[in-house]
Amino acid sequence: MATNIHMVCVPPSIKGMEPTMENLYERSAEQFHTTGRDLWVFAKHGTGWLAVWRTMLDVNETTA
C-alpha cells in the first residue's frame, strides 16, 4: 500500500480558509441550487489582506 504525504510550507503572510457555501442563482431562465466548499487563500497586502486564490470543492449543483 502506497502512502503519499504532501507538505506545504506557508509563510505567516499567507492565510487560508475553507467555509461551506450555498448558492441559489438563475441562468437562462432556469434556477439552480449549488452547495459545496470554498477554498480561499489570502496574502498580506499592506495593512490588509488580498484574496489571491479561490476554488470550489465538492460542488453539487441541482435545478431548484
Residues 6+ positions from 15 with CB-CB distance below 8 Å: 41, 42, 49
User: Looking at residue 46, what DSSP letter applies?
Assistant: T
pTM comes to 0.68
Q: In this predicted model, what pLDDT tens digit does every residue of 3-47 receive, in sequence order?
A: 676 677 788 899 999 999 999 999 999 999 999 999 999 999 999
Q: Which residue has the cell 470554498?
A: 38
Average pLDDT value for residue range 45-50: 95
Confidence of residue 64 (pLDDT cuts 50, 70, 90): confident
Q: What cell does 50 get? A: 488580498
Q: How far apart are CA 60 and CA 12, in angstroms?
A: 33
Q: What is the pLDDT of residue 2?
A: 63
